[in-house]
Amino acid sequence: MAYRNITKRWLVNSLGVILVILIIFEIVFAFGIRNYYYGGVRQIVNSRADVIVNTLLGYYEADSETYDEYVMELVENFEYKDQMELMAISVDETVALTSSGFVPGNDDVMPDYTYAIENSGDSGEYIGNIRGENVLAITRLLPVSEVELPAIRIVVSLSLVDRQIVLFIAAITVVCIAIVCFVIFSSAYFINSIVIPVRMVGDSARKIAQGNFETRLEKKNDDEIGELCDVINYMAGELGASEKLKNDFISSVSHELRTPLTAIKGWSETVLEADDKDTVQKGMKVIISETERLSQMVEELLDFSRMQSGRLTMIPEKLDIIAELDDVVLMFTERARREGINLEFNEPEDMIVVMGDRNRLRQVFINILDNAMKYSSADSKIEVSAVADKECVTISIRDFGEGIDEADLPNIKTRFYKGASSKRGSGIGLAVADNIIQLHSGSLDIESQKGQGTNVIITLPLAGKIK
């Protein structure tokens, strides 16, 4: 379909215009060459007629009585009779004598004499067909009176001229046909250079739409089509990577959901059959803990869904970011003590006011501190600090745990991405946190080295400084 449409548009828009231009050019050329050659013949005939008229006038002034005899002698002895025919016209508008000796018949009507009289001039012209031959006839009226032969006519055949004109037109026609053939050939090559890659792009796009993200286009030229191939290949690569991340995410979430559900189910059965209070209390703690973990995971999934659909909204208010950060650190203090991690908060003395959503910012801090705990070992340390300047506040949450591989670091904030770590998690917490910080006109940056820990740096504009 694409090939037919493009070809049709080219035939109508390109070749059609070229054909019209060439046809107009050939018509103009044909008229121009005809007028040029006919004008040349007309000029020659008129110059011969001028010579004859001047000769006759001179003779008439010298001897008017023998003028008619002289005209007949001049016609009979016309020196150019092999090129043109000279005729003497009588007062009754008939041909009295010709240089060839053949008087035209009654059917050979040449109205040039009539034109000369009607136009009140001394000359009349006629171009027409006489006995199957195209001729030019020019009549000159002599300004003399009381003579039997008051006019002369010169007739010349235009056959050779017409043949020459036809040859020129044929030559131009051949040139025009050659131009059309060249245009068709070059345009066909050009169209194929577009249609074939476009067809390949369409086929590849259909394969990609069907889920074959390994499809790649071969780039042949560094032009717009080549750029389109690069874009399609890049799109396929990104879709393939996104599909892989999605599949990994589904697998990871399924595993993460199965683990607490298994624990809840197992301990629920244990509690039902337990007789001692200690076992019941231990089981209920596990159930509550795993239920909270499930709730957090579901909340992350809901936030991610809102983020993807653009429905993750903020309720901004002026708040002391240090107080919120202190509450989150206090929330993790007991967990840090149990796991043998030294959690330090270098709290500024002054309050730092920002415009933000209290609950969403708490969610970011909880997510980052939870990751820091998760990837830190016993006897390790986590440092939390906040520093403000005139424009913004910079919050740093640094752990000295296992760190992040250099290959994973550029993608660590990408949705579904978990890297090579075997720690539990859905892979969307940092993506949601980064989006929340962006909605606060801030930034979330991660610095990390494998084996040396990770530093998460959050920058937020102060209240009144949001651009």
Please list the alpha-helical segments (H only) found in 63-158. 67-76, 112-118
Backbone dihedral angles phi then psi of residue 189, each to the nearest 5 degrees: -65, -45
- 89 CB burial (10 A radius; 0-12, 13-18, 19+): buried
What is the total residue count of the chain? 467
User: Domains plus CATH for the chain?
Assistant: 2-166 (3.30.450.20), 224-290 (1.10.287.130), 313-461 (3.30.565.10)
Tens of each residue's pLDDT in the chain, 467 residues: 444 566 667 767 777 888 889 999 999 999 999 999 999 998 999 898 888 888 888 888 888 788 888 888 888 888 888 888 898 888 877 888 888 877 776 566 778 878 887 776 678 888 888 877 888 888 888 877 778 888 888 889 888 899 999 999 999 999 999 988 888 887 777 777 777 777 777 788 888 888 787 788 777 777 777 788 888 888 888 888 777 767 766 766 666 677 678 878 888 888 888 778 888 888 888 888 778 777 777 776 776 666 666 666 778 889 999 998 998 888 888 888 888 999 999 888 888 899 988 888 888 898 889 888 888 888 889 999 999 888 899 999 999 888 888 877 777 776 655 555 545 555 577 888 888 888 888 999 998 888 888 999 999 999 876 55
427: helix, strand or coil: coil
Provide the CB-side half-sphere exposure for 212 (13 A, CA).
9
Residue type at 145? S
Nearest Cα to Cα of residue 189 among 10, 63, 417:
10
434 Cβ contact list (under 8 Å, min separation 6): 413, 444
